Amino acid sequence: MPQSQWIVVLVAAAVAAAVLLRLYMVLGRRSGAQPQGAAPAWLRGKAPPPPQSMAPAPGAPGLFDIQLADKRFDAAKFLDGARTAYRLIVAGFEKGDRDVLKPLLSSEVYDGFLAAIEARQGAANPYQLTDIREAHILSGAVRDGMMEICVSFTAAYEAAGSIGAPQEVTDIWTFARPALSADPNWTLVATSGETR
């Protein structure tokens, strides 16, 4: 076979592989309900359903772009880190611990959390996180060298002295990190949510 035909075959195979990978990323399986809308909703909700999966959604829009921007990106590891960050941030907010919150939040989000802490006037937050029932990636994007990933967390909160079922809240948080940064840590840059 002439050399030019081998080149055509190799290029066609590479294009086919790229298309198949893209289709897998777009049409991958999703688990759990997909939230609609995003109204602020800290610590409100209904009785929780049975525990659900915490697996990443491989077909989340834009996730392929994140993987192209950062070859080391691993969705499952990112989601584990996001769950840890959620627990740390919520605990920091509950305790009013500015030292915990500051390195994990963008300056705008930090200012919002600080205002909420100061509005409590030194009182402890009446709600405590008891469980993260579900966490999954909703979408990803790369803009101007920044990678952003939107994650939905469904968590159970309990009021101090409560004897009823924990209240369930869905928080939608956006984490960001420069694509070319050697620092693997992501920063919380936006929060919103809805009650199920």
Question: Mean per-residue pLDDT for 186-195?
Answer: 82
- Using DSSP, how many helices (H) and how many strands (E) does the chain show? 5, 4
The answer as to whether 142 is a domain residue is yes
The answer as to whether 25 is a domain residue is no
Query: Is the predicted pLDDT of residue 176 greater than 80, yes or no?
Result: yes
The answer as to whether 20 is a domain residue is no
Q: Which helix (H) or strand (E) holds 153?
A: strand 146-159
The answer as to whether 163 is a domain residue is yes
State the Cα–Cα distance between residues 101 and 90, nearest whole angstrom.
Answer: 9
Q: What domain range is 51 assigned to?
A: 31-194
**Predicted pLDDT of residue 31:** 36
Query: Is the predicted pLDDT of residue 152 greater than 80, yes or no?
Result: yes
Tokens of residue 133, six digits: 């029932």
The answer as to whether 16 is a domain residue is no
Q: Cβ distance 149 to 174 under 8 Å?
A: yes
Question: Mean per-residue pLDDT for 167-181?
Answer: 93
Identify the residue with better confidence: 35 or 68. Answer: 68
Reported pTM: 0.68
Any idea which residue has 């893209």 for tokens? 22
The answer as to whether 19 is a domain residue is no
**Predicted pLDDT of residue 17:** 45
State the Cα–Cα distance between residues 70 and 122, nearest whole angstrom.
Answer: 42
The answer as to whether 37 is a domain residue is yes
The answer as to whether 4 is a domain residue is no
Structural domain count, the chain:
1
Tokens of residue 75, six digits: 């969705």
Q: What is the CATH number of the domain that holds 123?
A: 3.10.450.240
Identify the residue with better confidence: 41 or 160. Answer: 160
R_g of the chain, CA atoms, integer Å: 20
Measured at the CA of 162, the angle between CA 156 and CA 167, to 5 degrees, comes to 25
Query: Is the predicted pLDDT of residue 61 greater than 80, yes or no?
Result: yes
